[in-house]
Structure 1
Amino acid sequence: MINLISKLLLFVLIVSAYSSLAAQESSEYQRLAEIAVIEQKVMMPMRDGVRLATDIYRPKGDAKVPVIFSRTPYNFNPYGDGEERTRTYTSAYEAVSRGYAYVVQNERGRYFSEGKWDILGVPLTDGYDAFSWMKDQEWCNGKIGTYGCSSTAEWQMAVAALDHPSHAAMVPMGYGAGVGRVGDIYEQGNWYRGGAQQMLFTAWLYSVQHDPMAPRLPEGISTEDLRRLQRFYDMSPEYPRVDWKEGLAHLPVSEIIENQQGPKGIYEDMIQRKPNDPDWYKGGLYHDDMVLAVPSFWFCSWYDVSITPNLALFNHARKNAAPDVRDHQYLFIAPTLHCRYTRATENTIVGERSVGDARYDYDALIYGWFDYWLKGEKNDVLEKTPRVTYYTMGSNKWQTAEQWPPAAAKMETYYLDSEGGANSLYGNGKLTTTMPKTDRPDSFTYDPHNPVMSYGGNVCCTGNAVEGGSFDQQQMETRNDILVYSTPPLAEGVELTGSVECTLYISSDAKDTDFTLKLIDVYPDGTAYNLDETIQRVRYREGYDKEVFMKEGEVYKVDLTALSTSNYFAKGHQIRIEVSSSNFPRFERNLNTGGNNYDEAKGVVAHNKVHHSAKYPSQVRLPLIRN
């Protein structure tokens, strides 16, 4: 009897939940239907005959309107559960009520779209062909703006380089996985940092790449059938949930998805690519030899996985975009996690740290931008909008500048120093403006089977493996394989805004290893909040087009990929950096063998040293703004 009652209660709860969802969808749909013409599952043809599933929401009447276009690998089917789906009607209503057509489309091979999926939805011509199709519609005024965060943003840059005449403006947000190579940064879509794999893509691809055995709808299916099917069947597989804290620990890394009985796909190919593999230059990534030709409003976050390459791309666009759009590049930086702009509150907590009231009227900002470029409104948006708007943590305030970094930021060099015992929070490491005279290197043992575990950080998409944001690092700093270097308590406050550069002089008894760096704000009570982090695989210290291994007893210079932030260190605080050889599973472990790493299951212990002296001036260069 008890089991029967329990089953009945469960049934009632399920029915109630679905009824509530249906009512919400009905309400949102009806509100939108009052102002919009709704056309769902329009199969937009590409030049090779493949058709992409597209939903169109446009104002009623005969007026020609501009388009806000969102292209995504995610499921936007409004019939069903999930934030991405229930947001469709809300986003469409906002756009249509402001006089825009809102068009959302699945990349090829995703859900109802035909073809074979590849990351970033290549070929690039799909974006170009979509622009051509939309601008020829009788309801379109010929102006198209692209908009979205993360995977709905990352495809925009490479397509913008194709210079379609109707692509009038773009708003990429959290767009780092679309950045391939910019200058000396070779992240290849966030796959790498300093030549070490960022493990977020292992977890992400588990549930995104297609299982080749999964059923597909027949090509050529009619729009009428698709509209009927979408109400009860959306081709969205429910992969079993994975405990990624355990899952990402599996070795070799090439078999992680297979070990979870996940689908085989592009992961098995991508994991074998080196940072400068020719295949990175054949897909949908933007590289710095492509000429951006579109006015762009770039949105970034301090605790996003890709803040440094994002800022590098903005500066690259300011200098190297098509001449007529170089001055039409704007930047906005929020103190949030990946794509969490609108989740800021009166007391915004990022991880454990409060960064104050970080709210902002994003709709006014973005639609003001689109109104100018797509509607031709004379709203003075270019004159009224600062070139750069950024949030400074610590002082917890929005600031503006005419360039990045702000002109007031001046690089100051701080040297690593110790008495040979910078190990842990209790060691004698220090950051000083005076170069050490005697080399008393700091030594530590790095065991890839007992790595330093990630705690907070600038990350996304790793499931339960890493929680992003700022967390007190004190407990982590009790490990002897973390070297800790701190300034004395500051006699007066100082703002650090820009990119932190780091040069280490290192040695090891291993052929290859990694060196990691964290930037920390230490409060007077000892609380140590992380700001940004980076890593460098030593074999790539001379460039990503070659591998150069170490010899025991020799000292090597290693320049790490820059860190980026804006933080006010108040009086009494300390500026701290941590140096180690692992930050796992934020970054893949180096097994220290000098082998491929991706196909290896056993590592060797490395005995690593950081040298600091006049001959080996290990240092960080800090962009400081002093009153």
Structure 2
Amino acid sequence: MINAVYRPLCLLLLLASTAVLQTRAADDADEAKFKDLADDDTMVMVPMRDGVRLATDVYLPKDREGPVPTIFIKTPYDFNRLEGTQLGWALEAVNRGYAFVVQNERGRFYSEGEWALLGNPRSDGWDSLDWIAGQEWSDGSVGTFGCSSSAEWQLALAAEDHPAHKAMVPMASGAGIGRVGEFHEQGNWYKGGVHQTLFTIWLRSVQQDMRPRFPEGLDQEQLQRLRSMYSLAASMPEVDWKKVVSTLPASNWLEEAGANTGPWRDLLMRKPDDPEWYEGGLYHDDADFGVPAFWMNSWFDVSQGPNLALFNHVRKNASDPAVRDGQFALVAPTLHCGFYRIPEHEDLIVGEMNMGRAHFPLWEQVYGFFDHYLKGSDNGFAENTPRVQYYTMGANAWGSADSWPPAAAEPVDYYLRSNGNAASVFGDGGLSRTPPTVASSDTYTYDPMNPVPSLGGGVCCNGGLTPGGVYDQRGIEARADVLVFTGYVLEEDTEVTGSIRATLYVSSDARDTDFTVKLVDVHPDGTAYNVDDTILRARYREGFDREVFMQSGEVYRLQPTAMSTSHVFKAGHRIRVEVASSKFPQYMRNLNTGGNNVDETEWVEAHNTLHYSEEHPSHITLPVMPAAPTPSR
């Protein structure tokens, strides 16, 4: 008889094994269906202008009667066997009458050359489009598609305005954005001038300069045979990332993790406005944009702010009116690249929060867009699709608007206040619609060796280092180095949709330190769930192109980059704001010395003060939607 202690474990293992078998069975069924639908031409080595050849697979509808438009995906990941999500993408494309082309970035797997971040999107992207448009099976119209790494390279390519590049669907593409408006995240490397640790973890497996390679110049038949025997997919040893990112100096993290050489260390040493950021594959807002786009983003991703800012930027600034008019956006209540994982007949759970029935017709919208721009289909997409679709959490319903943020949203200021005892949820911190008239302040100690832990929010790709989504924050709010400000019980539903801006008046005895702001929804039972958060390194308060250090005793005005959400604080709930100086390990700790931080081993405690007065009215500005009219009886 199985011991009762082990019975639950055995059940979990059985369920996990069943899920794996079901996934494999589904993949096998889709693969068989795909083979019935598609002709394939694999390991085509597409030449770039410098002679480097990129490994490319082509899949064509068997029932085609002439040239067809193309859905093109470029990726740094292995596609030795189409499976899972990528197989689903291919099946949808071919079944709808498109060629499906997938290509590895240079220096990845069987593609020749040396890998660079985003895979040389401008030159390699242009040359690949030239090649596709010149094939006898191509009608010359190409749409780029993909999520995360297969989306990010599309942005710089769109600035080139290749004549074959007729449409794009970039999903979760923020790591392709360098500078746009107030956001200087340089491919999500930074947020508020603070390094996001996810890129250390992601680059460990991707920046493989030292790897097995076959001789360049092999023919297609040889490469097909070799690929049937060798996947070239690295099997990376497990790493205790919490331990790695806790060590100093940070510049040794990948060495501690046993990584190969690559660009990471050089990237880590760059500052937020380093000139080298403007020489690579990132898109910056001083460039034009030449392609209609359907932007798909997530509320709990690493980059919803820059993504929405870029959507607005292109709508306003693209030189071609048709491109300006060809921009559409959608924001789902998911984690990174969660669009095609929303259950159709069940509630969506994100972290600890039930988001309700969040399903939407993904493929109908994607291919309604592609059919309109690539096939010239008079399908009503442009007339019938809202310019912006967004999921409102709390109400658990899809909404739409002609712009982002919706024009009806009105900025409402909530002032932070206390009698000098806002430390922790047990203190007296509050929120008021009335500006302060009596001066007060709160001081707390930020110790880099005992940072405030991260729990939830917009994260991705970090090897399980910290979870993304929605979680109860009360354990964090019990800390003495977290200032907590809670509003009154709401008498009616309050919808916050748009950009959330914090204005803090701070001082410190450190030359430099960080400040975090978190918006929280407090439920009637006291549970406190995060909505969104932001961070700013104080030295960048006057701009990311300069460093201005703090002087003890001086009060400074800080405005972190905006948070973004659509969330209803229900009647009976309370709005809460947290202010602290760390969210680790999501963000690299500030060691408070004013030094480079990334190559330091010494630190100091910072005694940070938040001020509230007529002269220094620390507050948060919420974009509040007008209340729905009460139905007449």
The correspondence for 1:132, drawn from 117, 130, 133, is 130
Is 1:70 matched up with 2:73?
yes
1:296 maps onto 2:325 in alignment: no
Q: Is the 2:121–2:156 contact (alpha carbons within 8 Å) kept by the matching residues of 1?
A: no
Query: How far apart, in 1, do the equivalents of 2:247 and 2:79 lie?
Result: 33
Aligned partner of 1:213 in structure 2 is 210
| 2:203 maps to 1:200 | no
Q: Deviations over 1:163-217 (max 9, x none)?
A: 000100000000110111011210000000110001110111111111x332211
User: Aligned residue for 1:158?
Assistant: 156
**In structure 2, do the counterparts of structure 1 residues 500 and 23 end up closer, same or farther at CA, with 3 Å as the change threshold?**
closer
C-alpha distance in 2 between matches for 1:358 and 1:27 = 27
Match of 1:183 in 2: 181
Q: Give the counterpart letter for 1:36 in structure 2.
A: A
What residue is the counterpart of 1:107 in the other structure?
105
C-alpha distance in 2 between matches for 1:360 and 1:422: 42
1:594 maps to what in 2?
594
Distance 1:31 1:424, change over 3 A: same
Equivalent position of 1:403 in the other structure = 403
CA–CA separation in structure 1 for the residues paired with 2:197 and 2:625 = 34
Moved more, 316-325 or 613-622: 316-325
1:22 Cα deviation after fit: 9.0
Find the aligned partners of 2:455 and 2:47 in 1 and give their Cα distance.
46
Runs of 4+ in 1 over 6 A off after TM superposition: 16-26
Give 1:325's aligned residue: 323
Aligned to 2:607: 607
Counting only pairs closer than 5 Å after superposition, residues 395-544 of structure 1 correspond to structure 2 as 395-544=395-544
SS in 1 for 2:559: strand
One-letter code aligned to 2:162: H
Distance 1:604 1:479 in 2: 19
Task: Determine helix, strand or coil for the equivalent of 2:286.
Answer: coil
Instruction: In structure 2, give the amino acid aligned to 1:280.
Output: W
Query: One-letter code of the match for 1:406?
Result: P
Distance 2:176 2:617 in 1: 35
Shift of 1:21: 9.5
Q: CA deviation at 1:350?
A: 0.6
After superposition, the CA RMSD in angstroms is 1.7
Question: Kindly tell me: are residues 27 and 348 of structure 1, through their superposed partners in 2, closer, same or farther at Cα, counting changes over 3 Å?
Answer: closer
Aligned to 1:59: 61
Superposition deviation, residue 33 in structure 1: 2.7
Residue 573 (str. 1) matches residue 573 (str. 2): yes
C-alpha deviation, 1:26, in angstroms: 6.2
CA contact (8 A) 1:372 1:378 kept: yes
Which moved further from structure 2: 240-249 or 421-430?
Answer: 240-249
Give how far 1:27 is off.
5.0
Looking at structure 1, the residues matched to 382 and 393 of structure 2 have their Cα atoms a distance apart, in angstroms, of: 26
What's the CA shift for 1:24?
A: 7.1
Which residue identity does 2:66 align to in structure 1? A
Relative distance call for 1:87 and 1:341 in structure 2 (3 A) is closer
Matched, 1:241 2:243: no
Q: Aligned pair 1:270/2:267, yes or no?
A: yes
Match of 2:51 in 1: 49
Q: 2: CA distance between counterparts of 1:155 and 1:303? A: 21
Contact 2:501 2:560 in 1 (8 A): yes
SS of match in other structure, 1:121: coil
Q: 1:65 to 1:539 in 2, by over 3 A?
A: same
Identity %: 54
What code does the residue aligned with 2:40 have?
I
Among 19, 35, 49, the alignment partner of 1:33 is 35
Change (3 A) 1:98 1:472: same
State the distance in 2 between where 1:579 and 1:24 align: 47
State the number of aligned residues: 606
C-alpha distance 118-21 of structure 1, shift in aligned 2 (>3 A): same
- Determine if the alignment matches structure 1 residue 383 to structure 2 residue 383: yes
Indicate conservation of the 8 Å contact 1:62/1:139, yes or no: no
| Secondary structure of residue in 1 paired with 2:560 | strand
**CA distance, structure 1, for counterparts of residue 59 and residue 405 of structure 2:** 40
3-state SS of paired residue (1:575):
strand
Q: CA deviation at 1:242?
A: 1.2
CA contact (8 A) 1:485 1:576 kept: yes
Gaps of at least 5 residues in structure 2 are 1-17, 628-633
SS in 1 for 2:302: coil
CA–CA distance in structure 2, aligned partners of residues 305 and 272 of structure 1 = 21
For residues 216-274 of structure 1, give each alpha carbon's deviation from its aligned partner in whole angstroms, at most 9, with x where no partner exists.
11111111111111112021111101122222212111110101111121101000000
Q: For 1:365, what is the secondary structure of its paired residue?
A: helix
Distance in 1 of aligned mates of 2:280 and 2:259: 24
The answer to whether the 8 Å contact 1:72/1:107 transfers is yes
- 1:498-542 deviation digits (Å, cap 9, x = unpaired): 010111110000000000011101101111110111100000111
Note if contact 2:489-2:571 (Cα within 8 Å) is conserved in structure 1: yes
- Contact 1:196–1:588 at 8 Å: present in 2 too? yes
Bigger CA drift: 163-172 or 244-253?
244-253
Amino acid corresponding to residue 392 of structure 1 in structure 2: T
| Cα pair distance change 1:151/1:510, threshold 3 Å | same
Q: TM-score, normalised by structure 2?
A: 0.93
* SS of residue paired to 1:342: helix
